[in-house]
Amino acid sequence: MKKVIVILCALLCATTAVAIVPSTIVEDITLNPINPAPLDTITFSISLVGDLPFNGSLIVKECNFSTGICYAVQNVSLPGNSLEHAINVTLMHADTTYISYWVSIKNENNNGTWIDYDAKILNLTINNNGGVHQSEGILPLVILIIVVVCFIIGYFGFKRLMKKWEK
């Protein structure tokens, strides 16, 4: 009788394990740029292994370590007809210091439960100006022109003042 119970338990465990294993799983996630900054657009390259079609999403959450605030997640659906995906996600908050991201896939073998894969945390590159990329643009040129004009005015003003003192 003990053998029958052990065999039944083994069969139950084996069938449960088969039912829980999803038909599609995440193989790899890479980011470009590798070291993003706040407000950057990141390309997530996602490689999956398994059966088509499937139902899945890339989830990206922006957080600020100093304040402890995490903003609402960006949930981007993965087209279920391909195992290779390149998804662009633009970060929305200038004060974000890190992001967490993962892929969630619906497991059709287990009553449609969702399984999260490869959850990672990535610290963002923070610049001296608070993380926002500031274009070098025209501002340094304007400052240079103002400084040169001030020197020219100062030179001629000093020269004129010296002429008055000589008289």
Residue 6 belongs to some domain of the structure: no
Same domain? For 87 and 146 the reply is: no
- Which residues form the domain of 144? 135-167
For the stretch 137-153, pLDDT in tens is: 555 666 778 878 877 88
pLDDT of residue 153: 84
Residue 86 covered by a domain: yes
Average pLDDT over residues 57-72: 92
Average pLDDT rounded to a whole number, residues 19-36: 77
Whether 5 has a pLDDT exceeding 60, the answer reads: no
Model confidence over 10-22: pLDDT tens digits? 444 444 444 445 5
Phi/psi at 79 (5° precision): -60, 130
**Beta-sheet pairing, 56-64 with 98-107:** antiparallel
Q: Are residues 62 and 86 in the same domain?
A: yes
* Same domain (yes/no): 147, 126: no
Specify whether the CB–CB gap between 143 and 54 falls below 8 A: no
Query: What CATH number has the domain bearing residue 73?
Result: 2.60.40.1930
Examine residue 28 and state whether it is found in any structural domain, yes or no: yes
Does residue 2 belong to any structural domain of this protein?
Answer: no
Residue 13 in any domain: the answer is: no
Residues 86-136 have pLDDT tens digits of 999 999 999 999 999 999 888 777 677 888 887 889 999 886 554 444 444
If you average pLDDT over residues 73-85, what whole number do you get? Answer: 87
Q: Average pLDDT over the chain, rounded to whole?
A: 77
pLDDT band, very low/low/confident/very high, at 38 (cuts 50, 70, 90): very high
70 and 145 share one domain: no
Claim to verify: residue 127 and residue 146 sit in the same structural domain: no
What contacts 136, CB < 8 A, 6 or more positions away? none
Same domain flag for 99 and 158: no
Which H/E stretch holds residue 3?
A: helix 2-20
**135 or 26, greater pLDDT:** 26
Indicate whether 62 pLDDT > 90. yes
Write down the pLDDT at residue 133: 43
End-to-end alpha carbon distance in the chain: 126
Domain count, the chain: 2
Q: What percent of the chain has pLDDT over 90?
A: 29
